[in-house]
Amino acid sequence: MTDVSSPVWFITGCSTGFGHDLAELTISHGWPTVVTARDKARLADLVAGHDNVLALDLDVTDAGQIAAAVKAAEEKFGRIDVLVNNAGYGYQAAIEQGEEDEIRAMFDANVFGLFAMTRAVLPGMRARRKGHVLNLTSQAGFVGFPGSGYYAATKHAVEGFSDSLAAEGAPLGIKVTCVAPGPFRTDWAGRSLKQTPVTIADYAETAGARMSATAGYSGQQPGDPVRAGEAMIKVVESTNPPRHLVLGELAYNGITGKLKERLAEIEGLKDLSLSADFPK
């Protein structure tokens, strides 16, 4: 059984990007860490020279692999204290040109896979009355940009799910934090982004322009993924972790600006909103 003073981390999507860099940090702390990828051979550098790491094949859209991974993690380390739902990818298209197969495949990974992974880990956390779920969302969980409507929908879905999970989990000692990064230097745009080209001229200056900018952004993003990982660890170590962790200046400015704008709009329509009730 693993020392109770060492948190056991289970991180999905560790082959590259946030998952990989966060795993390097938790491993370097000496914490038991379960690292996963669709092909665990891509995790060899994380495992080499460490006895506190368990590498597993995991496609979060495969219910059988999820069950097997959770069982293997609990058999190896005795429990899962921190679940990091990081696996997922992006798909961009003008709304009108979105392809059904691509949209559903992204929802399977970003939404239904995350839901299933969380359900599989909750029984152990509930039994111990302790656990922390980190869901990687995005600035897109608050702001829908042109060309990213379907991706934003997946991240909005995870935010709503996390609100309910937090309310259900709080009395059971289960904490929930959504991590919302802006642009980070993870090669996400080059590695984990699919696109349907904009061919309708009416969308060239909205969806088309943003998609072109996103595709050419790799290597120039202002966010440092290692610093992001350190921020996630600080949140997990805090006695009162936040429901939201926004990462990066662009995300901070974009999200706070959107929330202020939304609140002002809602408050400006207060009388009209209240008029919808039966008269008192």
User: Is 151 considered catalytic here?
Assistant: yes
The Cα 67–Cα 69 span in angstroms is 6
Residues near 253 by beta carbon (within 8 Å), at least 6 away in sequence: none
What is the phi-psi region of residue 88: left when phi exceeds 0, alpha when psi lies from -120 to 50, beta otherwise?
left
Closest of 136, 156, 1 to residue 82, by C-alpha: 136
Tokens of 257: 């600006």
- 89, 91, 150, 151: which is the annotated catalytic residue? 151
Query: Hey, what amino acid is at 270?
Result: K
How many CA within 13 A on the CB side of residue 83?
28
Q: Answer for the pair 97, 199: CB distance below 8 angstroms, yes or no.
A: yes
Q: Answer for the pair 27, 55: CB distance below 8 angstroms, yes or no.
A: no
Q: Answer for the pair 18, 181: CB distance below 8 angstroms, yes or no.
A: yes
149-169 helix and 113-128 helix, angle to the nearest 10 degrees: 10
3-class SS of residue 53: strand
Tokens of 202: 């009416």
Q: Answer for the pair 248, 184: CB distance below 8 angstroms, yes or no.
A: yes
The Cα 208–Cα 205 span in angstroms is 6
The Cα 53–Cα 102 span in angstroms is 34
Residues labelled catalytic: 151
